[in-house]
Amino acid sequence: MDGALPLVRLVEQFARLPGVGRKTAQRFAFYILNQPEEKAREFAQAILDARTKIKKCSICGNLTDEELCPICAAKERDTSLVCVVEDPRDVLAFERTKEYNGVYHVLHGLISPMDGVGPEQLTIKELLARVQAGGVREAIMATNPTVEGEATAMYLARLLKPLGVKVSRLAYGIPVGGNLEYADEVTLYRALEGRSEL
Amino acid sequence: MDGALPLVRLVEQFARLPGVGRKTAQRFAFYILNQPEEKAREFAQAILDARTKIKKCSICGNLTDEELCPICAAKERDTSLVCVVEDPRDVLAFERTKEYNGVYHVLHGLISPMDGVGPEQLTIKELLARVQAGGVREAIMATNPTVEGEATAMYLARLLKPLGVKVSRLAYGIPVGGNLEYADEVTLYRALEGRSEL
């Protein structure tokens, strides 16, 4: 099999995907070999298309293959409410709730001095420009509840508040369907703190 | 994101891989987007190359990008000992032991009437031709210890024995490093049966 270089190379490529080891990569490669050639072509083309055609929305930084992402291009969205997220995947997560009608701002990362990521590498300048241009009523800090997520939210709040915009943060609490027994104490404390009247 | 069709298509392609769900496929797709374009091209090319250049070895049916697989092409292998396996992956597994010096015959499947796979869809004809051509001393049935694997081994043994070739089967027993407590009773019984003197 050492001689079947194209196969070895494909296994190597699959093994580079996040969370994929040698065995899984091998399974993927054999799946490709067992597909009709047409299907393998489609797969290869999809990789090229995604990499070459996808770019960032010129307003919010979300991924799109046009000038504006479908959310910024939609007329019925409330552009005065901006949900600030780390990643385009977070946009997908919020869109799945089908409840949020505002728009987004994708930071493409979080401030993380340990990884050498400072504010200037994120789309913070663009966010400030959006707010300064007017029309934004509230900015929701929807970064992950990690150290970096919190720090980035705090940093942004300090920049945005002087511009006269309301800055809010996602609620902390017990996940729906979760189990109190398994909740960590910080989450429980936050859930207590944030309790609401019934 | 519904507008970013190239991305949706790439996620769909990844989700077709065995054992990959929507979330994992999404993670793979975002990995591709974050790669330099050159790397994405390499990935796409590896898929095409593997699918178009890899073929079956004309002797043993193992996968190769040349006429003969490296094992059949090697001069130092014992061609009188043929290990019959279901899949090219099984060849890799045996090669990793670094102890086997014979050659292989890859069936590319097992007899499975339930899945509509009969003997004629496998490379059984080619195996018989190899044995009839002479020079084969022993054929080791190295199919998986499943119903289909056993049935295929039995079927092949019945065909091969009249040709005057020794037919053997892999040993059953406790896996090295395994735990007796967790071994199923059939395996334990086979391990007892196959015990050897110390």
Q: Counting every residue, how long is chain A?
A: 198
Q: Which residues of A touch B95 (CB under 8 A)?
A: 1
Q: What is the pLDDT of residues B71-95, one digit of tens each?
A: 999 999 999 999 999 999 889 888 8
Q: Say whether B88 and A30 touch across the interface (CB within 8 A).
A: yes
Residue with tokens 């046009």: A66
pLDDT over threshold 80, residue A196: no
Over residues B34-62, the mean pLDDT reads 93
pLDDT of residue A3: 54
Mean pLDDT of B40-54: 93
Residue of A32, A43, A87 to mutate, testing the B interface (most B Cβ within 10 Å of its Cβ): A43
- B-proximal residues of A, 119-178, CB under 8 Å: none
Contact B37, A102 (CB under 8 A): no
What is the share, in percent, of chain B residues with pLDDT greater than 90?
A: 64
Mutate to test the interface with B, among A7, A14, A51 (most CBs of B within 10 A): A51
Q: How many CB atoms lie within 10 A of CB B75?
A: 5
Distance from CA of A10 to the nearest CA of B (A): 5
Burial A14-48 (b: 16+ CB within 10 A, else e): bbebeebeeebbbbbbbbbbebeeebbbbbbbbbb
pLDDT in tens, B93-140: 888 888 889 999 999 999 999 989 999 999 999 999 999 998 899 999
Confidence of residue B1 (pLDDT cuts 50, 70, 90): very low
Distance CA B179, CA B187 (A): 12
Q: Which chain A positions have a beta carbon within 8 Å of B7's beta carbon? A: 50, 54, 63, 65
CB atoms within 10 A of CB A49: 18
pTM across the whole model? 0.73
pLDDT for position B92 = 86
In the predicted model, is pLDDT for residue B3 greater than 70? no
List the one residue out of B39, B28, B13, B34 whose CA is nearest residue A19. Answer: B28
List of residues 6+ apart from A159 with CB closer than 8 A: A124, A128
Q: So what's the ipTM on this one?
A: 0.73
Whether A197 shows a pLDDT value over 80: the answer reads: no
Nearest to A3 among B33, B44, B69 (CB): B69
Mean pLDDT confidence for A87-105: 89
| A40 contact B CB<8A | yes
Write the CA distances from A154 to A81, A123, A141, A192, B11, integer angstroms. 18, 16, 9, 22, 34
Tokens read off for B173: 């027993």
Tell me what pLDDT residue A106 has.
95
> What does the pLDDT read at residue A1?
46
B48 shares contact with chain A (CB less than 8 Å): yes
A64 pLDDT higher than 70: yes
- Please give the span between the terminal C-alpha atoms of chain B, in angstroms, as a whole number: 67
Under 8 Å between Cβ of A103 and B40? no
The answer to whether A189 faces chain B, any CB pair under 8 Å, is no
The answer, for A45 touching chain B at a CB cutoff of 8 Å, is yes
* Residue B2: band (very low, low, confident or very high) from pLDDT cuts 50, 70, 90: low
Dihedral angle computed from the Cα positions of residues A115, A118, A123 and A124, in that order, rounded to the nearest 10 degrees: 140
pLDDT surpassing 80 at residue B198? no
Whether the per-residue pLDDT at A55 is higher than 80: the answer is yes
Chain B closest-CA separation from residue A68 CA (Å): 10
Interface test with A, best of B9, B43, B59 (most A CBs within 10 A): B43
CA distance A65 to A71: 13
Nearest-CA distance A142 → chain B (Å): 18
